[in-house]
Amino acid sequence: MATIIDELFGGEPDQWIDALPTYQSEHLRNLKVQGRSLEDIADIWLRGSIQDTRFFGTSGSGGNKNKFFEHLRDEVVQFICSGKKYQKERAELFGKEGLSHTFVISAISVYIAPHVSAAPALIAPAIALIFAIIGKISINAWCRGKVSM
């Protein structure tokens, strides 16, 4: 299982952005060209996309929109870094052969969406950006840093 994960995150970080539909990837690339960090771009995407939804971990329309990205990132940590919450789903996903970046983004978006009360299509670009961040360092270093939160 670790070999598949290492292969997925061992390539160019931009492969995760490239795996998204064009209408999403172009917008993210434009923000990147403006000098925004990948984390900032994910936060911008989510804040622009969740105007009228109940924010995960906040209350109603007066909630802190910036918290949504933090909570989404925490869910990804639990999924990728061996959290018990997603143990079955992780084993199912990473037990498959020939995984593509697009498939992994889609599958994890579907698994996580109900836990953050958002549609998979809305969170997929942010998940792709989180994966691009992981690809810049390494899966082990990222998990060590995030699990200690």
| pLDDT one-digit tens code per residue, 46-58 | 887 655 444 444 3
Cβ atoms of 50 and 65 within 8 Å: the answer is yes
The closest of 127, 107, 130, 123 to 53, measured between CA atoms, is: 123
pTM for the whole thing?
0.83
The closest of 18, 15, 73 to 40, measured between CA atoms, is: 73
pLDDT digits (tens, 9 = 90+) for 61-115: 445 556 888 889 999 999 988 778 999 999 999 888 888 999 999 999 999 999 9
What whole-number distance in Å separates Cα of residue 57 and Cα of residue 34? Answer: 30
pLDDT digits (tens, 9 = 90+) for 9-25: 888 889 999 999 999 99
Question: Is the pLDDT score of 31 beyond 70?
Answer: yes
What whole-number distance in Å separates Cα of residue 53 and Cα of residue 125? Answer: 17
Residues in the chain: 149
Domain boundaries, the chain: 2-147
Kindly report the average pLDDT of the chain as a whole number: 83
